[in-house]
Amino acid sequence: MTTGPTPLIAANWKSNQYWEGCVEFINELKELLPEQFDLGHEPPVDVLICPPFPYIPLMGMLLEEATIYLGAQDVSRFDGGAYTGDVSAAMLADLECDYCIVGHSERRNVFSDTDELIAQKILQLIEQELVPILCVGESLETRDTGQAVDFTLGQLSALKTELGRCEADRLVIAYEPLWAIGTGRNAEPADAQEMCAAIRDWLRDNLRGYEKTVPILYGGSVKPENAAAYFCQTDIDGALVGGASLKANLFAQLVRLYKV
Ligand code: PEP
C-alpha cells in the first residue's frame, strides 16, 4: 500500500474571533467532532486551528485534551529583541504552537512581505521546530494571461533553499489563488488539481522525496458545499480555510467531509 502525505484541514481565523467566541467554538466543536477530543482515537485527518496571537494561550488550554493542532498566522523574521509588535518563533514554540502560516497573500499584499522576508521567517520556524505552511498563488490577471503555473512555481523556486532546509515531513504548501480568497469565488476543482499536481512535480524535481510527505492544500472560499470536489482530487491533501472556519458547524462539516 502506498501512503501519501497526511491530510490536513487548517483554519485561518485571521483578525477574527474574541475570547468568548474561542470558548464557544471549541465547546461546539466538542459536540460535533467528539473523536477529535478523544486522545485514544487516531483521527484520519490532521486538524489545525490558527487563532489570532492573543488567543493562542487560551486555545492551547481549550485544546489540551484534543487531537487538534495549534498554529499561528505569522511570525517575526527576528529571533527576539527590540522589535516592537513582533512575535518570535521561540515565543510560538513556548506556547506550544505546532504550525505557522507564512507568505499568506494578505501578508504579501497588505504588509508587503517579500520572498526575502518570508525566507527569513521560514528559517526562524525551522530553528524552533515549527512547521511552516507556505502560501502561494496567482492573481486573476496572471491567471487570465495563462501564467498561473509559472508564477506559482516561481514563488516556490524563490524559496527553494529555505524549503530544502525544512525536513521533508515538516512543511506544508497551500495553493491559494488570490482572487478566490474571501471572495466567495472558488477555483474550479480541476484547475486547483492541475496547480497542485504542478506543485507536486516541482517538489519531485527540486526537493526529491518531499512530494511524498508534504501536504498540498487548496485554499480559497472552501465551504461544505464545494469541499468534496477538492478533497477527491489526487493532488489536493486538504484545505486552508478562512471564512468557513469561523463557524464550528461549518468547520466540523469540512473535517467530516475529508473523512468520508
Ligand atoms: C485564507 O485566508 O487562507 C482563505 C482561504 O480564506 P477564505 O476561505 O475565506 O477564502
Taking only the tens place, the pLDDT of each residue in 204-233 is 999 999 999 999 999 999 999 999 999 999
The pLDDT of residue 225 is 96
The pLDDT of residue 79 is 96
Q: How far apart are CA 182 and CA 222, in angstroms?
A: 9
Q: How far apart are CA 54 and CA 64, in angstroms?
A: 17
The pLDDT of residue 260 is 60
Query: Which residue puts its alpha carbon closest to atom 3 of ligand 1?
Result: 242
Query: Cell match 466567495: residue?
Result: 184
Element (H, E) at 86: none
- Residue 167 burial by CB count (10 A; 0-12/13-18/19+): exposed, middle or buried? exposed
- Nearest ligand 1 atom, CA 14: 2
What's the whole-number average pLDDT of the chain? Answer: 95
Instruction: Tell me what the mean pLDDT of segment 8-37 comes to.
Output: 97
- Nearest ligand 1 atom, CA 243: 9
Percent of the chain with pLDDT over 70: 98
Query: Cell match 507564512: residue?
Result: 102
The pLDDT of residue 1 is 40
Q: How far apart are CA 224 and CA 217, in angstroms?
A: 16
Query: Which residue puts its alpha carbon closest to atom 7 of ligand 1?
Result: 242
- Per-residue b or e along 125-141, where b marks 16 or more CB atoms closer than 10 Å to that residue's CB: bbebebbbbbbbbbbee
- Nearest ligand 1 atom, CA 244: 8
Q: Out of 106, 138, 176, 211, which one is annotated catalytic? A: 176
Tell me, yes or no, if 176 is annotated catalytic.
yes
Tell me, yes or no, if 104 is annotated catalytic.
yes
List Cα–Cα distances, 158 to 114, 118, 161, in angstroms. 10, 10, 8
pLDDT digits (tens, 9 = 90+) for 168-178: 999 999 999 99
Q: State the architecture of 8-256 in CATH terms.
A: Alpha-Beta Barrel (3.20)
Q: How far apart are CA 10 and CA 52, in angstroms?
A: 14
Instruction: Tell me what the mean pLDDT of segment 164-189 comes to.
Output: 93
Instruction: Tell me what the mean pLDDT of segment 92-115 comes to.
Output: 97
**Domain extent listing, the chain:** 8-256
Q: Out of 28, 104, 129, 188, which one is annotated catalytic? A: 104
